[in-house]
Amino acid sequence: MSENTITLTPPSGGRGAHVCLTPALLPLFNVEDYIVVVIDIFRATSSICYGIENGAEAIIPVSQVEECAAYREKGLDYLLAAERDGSVVDGFDFGNSPFSYTKEKVAGKTIVLTTTNGTHALHLSRSAKKIVIGSFLNLTALSNWLNTQNENVLLVCAGWKNNFNLEDTLFAGAVIEQLEDKGFLLDDAALAANDLFQVGKNDINGYLKKTSHGERLKKLGIEKDIEFCLQVDLTTAIPVLEGEKLVKLAVY
């Protein structure tokens, strides 16, 4: 695929803000040229933002329940989060609901979080200059920070099983809205994401109700989680990947 790889050509003196609509498209980008923002709105990156905001020392994302369980065998005092089909897996501390990531539960703790799509996107982005985590919860704090960095930005939508989904794209558009007058060169996907956000922004929850994924999540009985994940600017912490752990970015 290398001959087809898109070589980023930011405007002279400027930066590019690009959107990767699914992890399957990541090989098209020179990831090492970017700060990557990983986006998995329902619910991994929302829960991560909320947990880091509430004082979790670190969150370790893994893709398999078995990997998560392996941390217990290491004898570490970690909280383990894993669910299947909407229920907490037996023997684990909690599931993926953001309501599990309150101050009372997570302050000072390290959490191992099972998330398929989010972990996949993180893993494929590992050569980036920096990997941070985005969700509607930390939208403005994240966008403001991106504006202060003199770097190209790649918004990576975790999607669903490598395919496009609307909620992650809508959030990418929300970030682009906050970057667009700051001299970033936008690619077609960034333009599209922003236009979709403009269509949906006045009622994000209503807009997303028509999607297939929304239907799927509704069947899991997590409407309250969805509403929670669509709250804008509830938090200011920016989770950043250090080694295998997501920790709070020190913003100066």
Which residues make up the interface to its own copies (CB under 8 A)? 1, 4, 6, 21-22, 24-25, 28, 160-166, 169, 187-189, 191-192, 195-196, 198-199, 210-213
Minimum CB separation of residue 16 from its own copies in Å reads 10
Output the smallest distance, CB 235 to its own copies, in A: 26
Residue 113 CB burial class (10 angstroms; 0-12, 13-18, ≥19): buried
Nearer residue to its own copies within complex by CB, 67 or 93: 67
For residue 99, the minimal CB distance to its own copies (Å) is 26
Q: How far is the CB of 239 from its own copies (least distance, A)?
A: 26
Residues 6+ apart with CB under 8 A from 41: 135, 136, 167, 168, 170, 171, 229, 230
Nearer to its own copies, 70 or 164 (CB): 164
Q: Which is nearer to its own copies, 109 or 120 (CB)?
A: 120
* In the complex, least distance from residue 169 CB atom to its own copies, rounded to whole angstroms: 7
| CA dist list (Å): 115 to 39, 140, 185, 193 | 12, 24, 32, 24
Q: Between 123 and 164, whose beta carbon lies closer to its own copies?
A: 164
CA distances from 29 to 8, 23, 34, 124, 172 (A): 8, 11, 9, 11, 16
Are the C-beta atoms of 205 and 225 separated by less than 8 Å? no
Contacts of residue 249, Cβ cutoff 8 Å, sequence gap at least 6: 132, 145, 237, 238, 239, 240
Residue number, 107 or 199, with CB nearest to its own copies: 199
